[in-house]
Copies of this chain bind each other. A is one copy, B any other.
Amino acid sequence: MPAKVKLHDTTLRDGMQGEGVSFSLKDKLAIAEKLDELGIHYIEGGWPGSNPKDIDFFKEVGKISLKQAKIVAFGSTRRADKVAGNDPNLRTMLNAETPTVAIFGKSWTLHVKKVLKTTLSKNLKMIEDSVSFMKSKGKEVIYDAEHFFDGYKDEPEYALKTLQAAEKAGADWIVLCDTNGGVMPYEIGDISRKVKKAIRTPLGIHTHNDSGMAVANSIMAVKAGFTQVQGTLNGYGERCGNADLCLVIPNLKLKLGIDCISDEQLRSLKEVSRYVNELANIIPDDRQPFVGDSAFAHKGGMHVDAVRKTSLSFEHIKPELVGNRQRVLVSELSGKGNVLSKASQFGLTLSKDSPETKEIVKTIKDLEHRGYQFEAAEGSFELLMKKSLGRYKKLFDLEGFRVSVEKREDNRLISEATIKVKVKGVREHTAAEGDGPVNALDNALRKALEKFYPALADMYLSDFKVRILDPKAGTAAQTRVLIESRDHEDTWRTVGVSENIIEACWEALVDSIEYKLLKDKK
């Protein structure tokens, strides 16, 4: 196994092939800086020959001073009917003025014949010429062997010949790609070991996640001696995405003991992951290994108990190493232990046998019995604790509201809310329309509160979920509403329960607003 591995990020190129992923030029520059801070060695910025917008990126990124990352321009080998010096694609790559270029070529005879529609020997010449040309211009050259593993499984000799063509031309790196993401880890291990014996050039791995194997396959190749891993932040990429560097990096450092980024940089991993999700406007995956919000969340009472005895018992690494944290979920199985560990997380001191602790445990049990569920509503839970401890005072008094939805004969639909509240001794009576009753109520409530609490303009409702509890109870069925809210830096969730969906929404909305104001005070 190698002692060091270089990381090659392609979020800005391959990542942008992902459905729903798009970055502005400004976003791309901000991400490049973040990647540099994280300690990434190569940042693939785009494909100038295929996407004219990428040309601007290379122009602008040159003006930023990066600590150690090298910017890479990406493109294909020369066209079959061009000489390298006159190939428009290679020319555009040169114009990007990067120290390093990544050139991809074909390893799979199927692609050479059916997609490129050229001969096997011409393809070898295209690879050799393109790499030679870039070397003659003083570039560091990464040669990406597209579909290498599929090609090797089909015709191993030809696939190896394509690598030898790149090696002969002086490529600095040869990167084997599982472009379709369909190869199994034992195959990657096996083929990588064979290639390692045949090729002296430093080797890299580039995988896709179509079989759920992208990270495992990267690790198998490193185990075979490969010293470059390509991937994207949060695994963005076409179809099921690329190898997620947020998983590759901690696995390399913490599991394989390989040097790639510093311990301090590793501690910023969760924050970087979150930052890029925010720029991409993508909802974070709570279950994402290492950096997801649930990655170290314990629910079962037995596990919680064991984790308190020794965290190693149900945690494969210390969450702080990647900037994450342990969370104990409050669920029906919860007892005093969970409440205590939550309290300390919120910065509250509670002793095990104090009357407050007993009171809070009792309140939670009562609420859970009535259908509240706090594991997905930590915002409400934190408020509840602070209220029980007298650490929170009411923001306003509700005197009444009315919400109506009317469908008229012309098929028009009108949703309206009126609200009467008292804030800091002043009575506000306002009305607002909305896209639906909840939106109308939210609008009316903010309209009443915003002049007293202007920070509310920064938050918005990002999701809500509704569930009928115990539907067999018929008319007495309770409705549970979970609301997710966001501002520019956080996400929080609150809960409301009532027989009436509007009242349940109201409760969760009020908690959400109270949580926001409480949070801002900290």
Contact = CB atoms under 8 A, between A and B. Distances in A.
A273 interface: no
Interface in A237-251: 238-241, 244, 247, 250-251
Contact of A22 (B189, B316, B373, B476): B373
A517 B348 CA distance: 58
B463 A471 contact: yes
Interface string A493-522: 000001111110010000000000000000
Interface string A169-192: 000000000011110111001000
A283 to B, nearest CB: 8
Interface string A262-301: 0000000000000000000101011111101111111111
Nearest to A329: B19
A211 B255 contact: yes
Interface string A378-400: 00000000000000000000111
A313 B17 contact: no
B114 A309 contact: yes
Contacts of A281: 465, 467, 472
A323 to B, nearest CB: 16
Contact of A299 (B19, B217, B299, B499): B19
Interface stretch (A65-73, A355-363, A436-444): A436-444
Given A50-B302, A295-B210, A375-B19, A465 B467 contact: yes
A35 to B, nearest CB: 20
A173 to B, nearest CB: 23
Contacts of A18: 287, 294, 299
Given A182-B316, A213-B216, A375-B19, A502 B405 contact: yes
Contact of A403 (B299, B399, B404, B484): B404
A20 interface: yes
Q: Which of A251, A289, A290, A479 gathers the greatest number of chain B CB atoms within 10 Å?
A: A289
A186 B189 contact: yes
A335 to B, nearest CB: 13
Say how many copies of this protein the assembly contains. 2
A499 B435 contact: yes
A405 B403 contact: yes
Contacts of A452: none
A301 to B, nearest CB: 8
Interface stretch (A55-63, A128-136, A408-416, A424-432): A408-416
A502 B435 CA distance: 10
A20 B375 contact: yes
A161 interface: no
Q: Which of A247, A314, A402, A405 gathers the greatest number of chain B CB atoms within 10 Å?
A: A405
Contact of A503 (B400, B407, B439): B407
A74 to B, nearest CB: 12
Contacts of A309: 114-115
A463 B302 CA distance: 32
A446 to B, nearest CB: 13
A215 interface: yes
A376 interface: yes
A404 B402 contact: yes
Contacts of A285: 285
B460 A289 contact: no
A316 B463 contact: no
Interface string A338-352: 000000000000000
A212 interface: yes
Contact of A289 (B209, B247, B290, B310): B209
Contacts of A213: 215-216, 219
Nearest to A286: B19
Interface in A453-505: 460, 462-468, 470-472, 474-477, 479, 484, 498-503
Given A399-B409, A437-B437, A466-B466, 5 more contacts: A212-B251, A239-B294, A400-B406, A407-B503, A439-B475
13 contacts: A50-B301, A50-B302, A181-B316, A185-B216, A211-B250, A238-B300, A240-B295, A400-B406, A407-B503, A435-B476, A435-B499, A437-B437, A471-B484
The 7 closest A-B pairs by CB, nearest first: A182-B316, A216-B216, A466-B466, A404-B404, A436-B500, A405-B502, A212-B247
